[in-house]
Amino acid sequence: MRVPDPRPSAVARRLSRWGDDRLGAAGLARSVFNKVFPDHWSFLLGEIALYSFVVLILTGTFLAMFFTPSSHEIVYHGSYVPLRGITVSEAYRSTLDLSFDVRGGLLVRQLHHWAANLFVAAIVVHMLRIFFTGAYRRPREMNWFIGLLLFWLAFVEGFAGYSLPDDGLSGTGLRIADSIVLSIPLIGTWASFALFGGEFPGTLIIERLYIAHVFLIPGIIAALIALHLVLVVVLKHTQWPGPGRTEHNVVGHRMIPGFAGRSTGLFLCVFAVLSLMAGLVQINPVWLWGPYQASAVSSASQPDWYVMFLEGSMRAMPAWEIRVHVAGHGYTVPPVFWAAVVLPGVLTVLAMAWPLVENRMHRDQQLHNLLQRPRDNPQRTALGVMAVAFFVVLTLNGVNDVIADKFDISLNAMVWAGRIGLLVIPPAAWFLAYRLCLSAQQHDRQTLFEGVETGLVVQSPSGEMSEVHQPVVAGEADEDTYRGGRVPVTPGDLGIVEAAPKGFFVSVEPAPRTKQLERDAQGAPADAEQEASR
């Protein structure tokens, strides 16, 4: 049988040579295809954000073909019977038509909305991974700044898209956004008139949000993602410490075929999960909220999860007003300004300045390509846990009316519980995280000194019961192997116990013990007797 020649044909070679002579892409393609990426599940969080953005672009293009970005009011005569004869905007009418008349429209709408939530969630979790592992350190401070900017762009992009249907829930969100703009001293009134084209709700906000949501912000996000990926390639990917891994190499899989194949599989998984959620889990049923009316605001009017912390900060802020008189004119700084403008601004500035502050505190000017385990830097880990606790408390404040209603609790009591929680819970989380990191460090040192617990209990001739420990290191040279890396905790981590046969969900039988472990168990009684005699 004739074996086919794996080499490209003469025509293909000539075409590739012709293109390379004019573009000079062979060297670049070779370096990109040979790029090595480390293998760890935590590095997939950024890819989930990227693939969610791809799904957003695809579904958003479909939705843009049927959506009408107009605040012009008409009488609805569509397929949804309960709203027939009601005056609605053309934006709301086109959203209803997308949901009930366009084939697959509701599925794509919900896919788009779920992808937006996953996009922001993946960015947040990815940034937390970057923070807790110290991946923002030199020379990657620029990527940290880009990540923070991407979060706020995704925040604004999500809010703009959430506001486009002009339903009762999104209109309430726009009213709150208008109050935030109005709270800015000196320029608030002018900024609100310029944004809405007059007094709220104006007649231009839907059209302007559509332009920002479809063209401006996605273009900026795409450019920043491209810049982020270029920096990842140029600066090399970070990796976890381990055998053979240094600050000057990367241990993993090449772009082609290993990483590309896995990455493609991850994209298909992300798309499949989002499609499943879009088909089975309802989100933002605008036909239930009805068209927006400035006089109609209901309870439980919560935005998407990533806006909830801003809602919670405004609810927790006391009604403190500052009145200032300048040149005979009186100005009022309302509490909304401190909760919705100053607080997010201060938190963003602190987050952006943290890499520079940490470098200055530790006088660290070295290049860092190896990550740190969270336990190895207790101060940073405790600070991050405190920030997460602060965010969670604010988010719960954003739904305090729902909690009060469902659990029959006084809303006033919920407001005060949120205020007290903001002062008590974050410091408590800092202290707990700090102590847990120190405890984990102590456990690692104890494991390196005593060895790994094997689960074998032996009895000495004197009757004393003791557990057999398998040594982890044989000297200082072996200790360097685990410096900054994961310390083994089971015999299987040391490779002295065979892997258990796997079932569909769990192992079908216990792992067999090896001869080396049996010899250790047999030698333990004599060692224990000698230790007792000493």
Q: Residue 450: its pLDDT value, please?
A: 80
pLDDT band at 177 (very low <50, low <70, confident <90, very high): very high
What is the per-residue pLDDT for 519?
55
> Please, which pLDDT band fits residue 327 given cuts at 50, 70 and 90?
confident
Residue 332 to residues 313, 327, 337, Cα–Cα distance (Å): 19, 14, 10
**Residue 523 pLDDT greater than 70, yes or no:** no
Confidence of residue 396 (pLDDT cuts 50, 70, 90): very high
226-285 pLDDT per residue, tens:
999 999 888 888 888 877 788 888 888 888 878 888 889 999 999 999 999 999 999 999
* Each residue's pLDDT tens digit, 20-75: 776 766 677 777 777 888 888 888 899 999 999 999 999 999 999 999 999 899 99
pLDDT for residue 247: 84
Three state DSSP letters for 154-189: HHHHHHHHHHCCCEHHHHHHHHHHHHHHHCCCCCHH
Q: How many angstroms separate the Cα of 144 from the Cα of each of 123, 134, 352?
A: 12, 10, 7
What pLDDT is recorded for position 439?
Answer: 94
pLDDT of residue 525: 45
Nearest to residue 525, comparing CAs of 471, 468, 475?
A: 468
β-pairing verdict for 87-89 and 329-333: unpaired
What average pLDDT does this structure show over 437-446? Answer: 90
**pLDDT tens digits along 131-175:** 999 999 989 999 999 999 999 999 999 999 999 999 988 888 899
For the chain, the average pLDDT equals 85
pLDDT above 90: residue 11:
no
pLDDT(486) > 80: no
